[in-house]
A and B are shown apart, each in its own frame.
Chain A
Amino acid sequence: MEPLKILVIHDDLFENDPLLYTLRERFGRDNVILEKKSSQGLEYIYNNLSSKLIVLLDFDLGAGEPHAPEVFKRIREKTSLIYVIIYTAKQFTAIPNEALIDFINNEALGIIQSTADIPEVVGMVEKAAHQLDTRVDCILEQWIAKHSEKERAKPYLTTKSGTIYTLDDLIVEIRKETELGQQLEKSILQLAIELLTSQKRQLDD
């Protein structure tokens, strides 16, 4: 399976920063990427939409670069499956309310101060990693992404109203959390539970 990537978008961290060092120890040397410019960070995200990705995002990213609320919005335009953790030296009280509301509404996984202890930050990344591993939509998305391009472009599912979806279409539906995307997730969960319980019966027999 494709390894989890941690993307750190932060203009005040350096390549060998103890935080990055510790994250690399935990998640693998090549799996922790530092981008000091948020525009380049976004580019990385856009190029790796099907990867399992956790983003540690600074709030202020310097002149001319999109700041966290903007970066966040642009990530969510493309996918709801990337976990974002805000990691900043900015005091929480100095973060505008509307930015906080947007963070919550767009499901930021957490906000953590850059003066926090390293284990605390790593702990939050691990929590995100765990959730990525167990979320239905993530697993489904990864499963779809494993298919070849050709297979993904074939009709895969027809709804009652007659609309035809390819696997690629389904990815979009899931990422954008449309009604169909949500319905799909729900059905899969129900199926999984059914499978689990019927298996259990077999075990009991």
Chain B
Amino acid sequence: MSEKNLKWRFDVNTFRLIGRELITDRITAVYELVKNCYDANATKVIVEFIDVSPEALNEKSKIIISDDGHGMSYTDIRDKWMVVGTASKRSTLFSPPPFERRYVGEKGIGRFAVDKLGGHVVIETKEVDTNQKLVVNIDWNAYDELSKSPQLKLFTDVENSYAFVDAPKEEKGTKLIISSIEETWTDLDINRLEKELEKIVSPFHPLNPPFQIVINSNEYDAYKDKPVKAESIKYSSLEFKLEYNVEKEWQETLKWDKEKNKIIVDRVSIKPFGGINLRLFYFDEAAKKKFNRIYKNQDYRIDGIKIYRDGLITTPFAEFEGIRDKKRDVLGIDKRLWSGFLDKVGTREIIGILDITKENNPKIIDSTNRQDFVDNEAYRELKEFVIAQLKVLEEFKKNERKLLKQKVDQELVKANIEVKEFTEALKTLEKNNPNLKQTLKPLKEQAKVIDISIKKGIEQQEKERKEYIRKENIYVSLMSLQDYAIHVSHAVRTALGKVKRMAEFFKDRFPDPKLDSIFKEYSHMIYNEMVNLNKVIDFMLSYAGSNIDMEDFNVKNHLEDLFNKAYVPVFDAEDIKHIVEVQDNFVLHANKKFFEDIFENLISNSIKALRNEESKVIKCSGFIEDDHFVIYYSDNGEGIRKGDEEKIFEMYYTTTADLGGAGIGLYIVKTRVESLRGTISVVENEFKPRGATFKISFPFKK
């Protein structure tokens, strides 16, 4: 045996960036390493925990991950394992024959996963038909020491010892023996890992060749050579199994039977994306509660639809994401929740297993970054197909709610009638037996009380229905607020960065007569930035407090009031002619102030756009078009540059910075329109060749 040295080929910053930023969680770390085993054509992986509990953890504790895959050669280790972001996995999508597995490992992340688990690792790896195995010794702690030093920047200064050791010819595979374990593992941690590993392989479409994962612990009895197997999905309130038949050319799909008010499984011809098997499990409120109670301490969740190809997970792409809101929603299920969300079925109400195959779904193509499929027609149709299934579930959900409401209503009405009958009966009894009057008196009084409470109950029911609608409206405007929060934080940072740089300039350079004009420019800009920030904050505060109450108002009357009364002084001051033509009545249930914000900002924009015009016109017209109420707002100002039609709605996009334009106005307009469930766009200008026209459209409420 001869011992030599190997060096890493990257620098400290890269190491830190990838290692600490990408692998934030121990589960992810093990998960990544197991995926690497899959990519190495392993059929079995053993994840072994030795003395990792809080009581037992010591310097001899270990995590061992071993597989029977193809192993690595010296050059593999040197040129791939020890180089960050190796391209080898990117140039091909599939592992070597005979398995030809679709790669699932992240590019070059595995080695950082090892670092997350422990400070020291020994890699034992052997390729088949060789006489020696390669043993590499890596001490991460040394790198940490190195990265603290201000002078040394490159990892190439640390040498890792390696040696070749004789081993039987037929032996193959890789074993990572990780020690200097950083964190303890409780049985709950290992359970979390197990639940995550379960998802790698489809529970319904066994892998061939197999990929078996075993967890072993010398401390926890539940994990004595325990194979990781997907648990069957239990406690759902509805369960569907959709299949297909290539010869007979049918694909099963869900359908809502309007007459019978129930979900049926229908057959349609095979879709362009090919036949698919889909298991859907729907959880209503009660089922969700039960599921969450039973799996309370386990990391097992109702988490939407996963796509498996030939039995192996493809999306959500075999990546563990601890924070569920950060999970990728590739099928776009939750994006739909924006409108009418109370009736929509989201990823937290369904578990779905969608099995596709290389053979039957060739048009569904893995994209090279392995984050999604190639966006082609077949994939779009597949997404639509999935959404169509959910829509059927939504019909069911709506119907359930309707039935519940009907039942409650009916019971209340029935109770009301019964009390009346009872009171009548008492009256008859009293009439026939006047001597019973005193005895019956408390009964009569009780009946009265019951009658009142039932009436109250009915009123309450009605109130709650209204409250429900009100809440739904508020939620919709709050959802746009969520979007807004993302924008505003970016905008504030940008503004602060700008102001900071200018202040820094003053601090370092003032006074300097040569720079006077610059100083002057900056002071104006700092002032303007502050004014803008103030506007942003004011807008944000408009969502705070109690002023997001909704009310019914007639858009026609309100627009006429705004243009013919409220804004008249402004129009007069700017010498602007205004025309307002609203044909139809339309009642909007919304926050009046939000609605006014739209026009206040549009008018303020128009004033700037009209500054160089001789005859200035602003026109606003409104009418019903199909099932929408449409408002056209136009001016004959300088117009919108071609290509900027989308951009102008972005926060901080402005073409009038010189006039104090902050690029917030049209952002507010768009946000407000959306919070009222409407849409806004730039259309062909009415006052051609000058001017701009906006089309705002509000849907009728169904």
Contact = CB atoms under 8 A, between A and B. Distances in A.
A and B pair up: yes
A64 B646 contact: yes
A90 B494 CA distance: 9
A100 B22 contact: yes
B398 interface: no
Given A89-B490, A114-B494, A16 B643 contact: no
B interface secondary structure, majority: helix
B504 A101 contact: no
B627 to A, nearest CB: 28
A90 B486 CA distance: 10
A58 to B, nearest CB: 10
B652 A12 contact: yes
B599 interface: no
Contact of A115 (B109, B496, B505, B522): B496
B106 interface: yes
Interface in A92-151: 92, 97-98, 100-101, 104-105, 113-115, 117-118
B500 A115 contact: yes
A117 B504 contact: yes
Interface string B656-677: 0100000000000000000000
A105 B500 CA distance: 32
A30 interface: no
A100 B498 contact: no
A19 B501 contact: yes
A104 B14 contact: yes
A16 B371 contact: no
B490 A18 contact: no
Contacts of B646: 63-64
A12 B494 contact: yes
B653 A62 contact: yes
B498 A17 contact: yes
Contacts of A17: 498, 501
B205 to A, nearest CB: 27
A21 interface: yes
Given A18-B522, A64-B647, A104 B84 contact: yes
A16 B490 CA distance: 22
Contacts of A168: none
A94 to B, nearest CB: 8
Given A60-B490, A64-B647, A98-B371, A12 B498 contact: yes
Interface string B1-29: 00000000000001001100110000000
Nearest to A93: B21
A91 B653 CA distance: 20
A18 B17 contact: no
Contacts of A92: 21
Interface in B82-132: 84-85, 87, 106-107, 109
A136 B646 CA distance: 45
Contacts of B525: 14
Contact of A63 (B371, B493, B502, B647): B647
Contacts of B500: 115
Nearest to B649: A63
A16 B107 contact: no
B106 A114 contact: no
B502 A18 contact: yes
Contacts of A14: 525, 657
Contact of B518 (A12, A21, A100): A21
Interface in B481-513: 489-490, 493-494, 496-498, 500-502, 504-505
Q: A11, A62, A92, A101: which has the most chain B beta carbons within 10 Å?
A: A101
A104 B22 CA distance: 12
B85 A62 contact: no
Given A12-B498, A115-B500, A104 B505 contact: no
B17 A62 contact: no
A72 to B, nearest CB: 14
Contacts of B518: 16, 21
B166 interface: no
B334 interface: no
Nearest to A92: B21
Interface in A13-48: 14, 16-19, 21-22
Contacts of A60: 490
A92 B649 CA distance: 25
A14 B501 CA distance: 12
Nearest to A19: B501
B521 interface: yes
Contacts of B521: 16
A181 to B, nearest CB: 15
Contacts of A89: 490, 493-494, 497
Interface in A139-168: none
Interface string B517-530: 01001100100000
Contact of B106 (A22, A101, A117): A101
A61 B657 CA distance: 18
Contacts of B21: 92, 97, 100
A143 B657 CA distance: 44
Q: A12, A14, A18, A105: which has the most chain B beta carbons within 10 Å?
A: A18
Nearest to A106: B85
B369 A98 contact: yes
B497 A115 contact: yes
Contacts of B522: 18
B239 interface: no
Contacts of A114: 493-494, 497
B650 interface: yes
A18 B84 contact: no
A118 B501 CA distance: 7
A43 B489 CA distance: 31
A91 B21 CA distance: 13
Nearest to B371: A98
Q: B107, B497, B504: which has the most chain A beta carbons within 10 Å?
A: B497
A111 to B, nearest CB: 8
Contacts of B505: 18, 21-22, 118
B320 to A, nearest CB: 12
Contact of A101 (B85, B494, B496, B657): B85
Contacts of A113: 497
Nearest to B14: A104
A92 B493 CA distance: 13
Contacts of A104: 14, 17-18, 84-85
A92 B189 CA distance: 28
Contacts of A22: 505
A38 B232 CA distance: 50
B387 to A, nearest CB: 24
A144 B489 CA distance: 47
A21 B22 CA distance: 36
A64 B84 contact: no
A105 B85 contact: yes
Q: A14, A89, A91, A92: which has the most chain B beta carbons within 10 Å?
A: A89
Contacts of B14: 104
B441 to A, nearest CB: 72
B22 A18 contact: no
A90 B85 contact: no
Contact of B17 (A21, A63, A64, A100): A100
Contacts of B493: 89-91, 114-115
Contacts of A62: 647, 650, 653
Contacts of A115: 493, 496-497, 500
A203 to B, nearest CB: 29
A97 B647 contact: no
B163 to A, nearest CB: 29
27 contacts: A12-B494, A12-B498, A16-B521, A17-B501, A18-B504, A18-B522, A19-B501, A21-B505, A62-B653, A63-B650, A89-B497, A90-B493, A91-B493, A100-B21, A100-B22, A101-B22, A101-B106, A101-B107, A104-B17, A105-B84, A105-B87, A105-B107, A114-B493, A115-B496, A115-B497, A118-B504, A118-B505
Given A18-B502, A105-B84, 6 more contacts: A21-B518, A62-B653, A64-B646, A89-B497, A97-B22, A114-B494
Q: Which are the 6 A-B pairs with shortest beta-carbon distances?
A: A105-B85, A18-B505, A114-B497, A89-B493, A18-B501, A89-B494
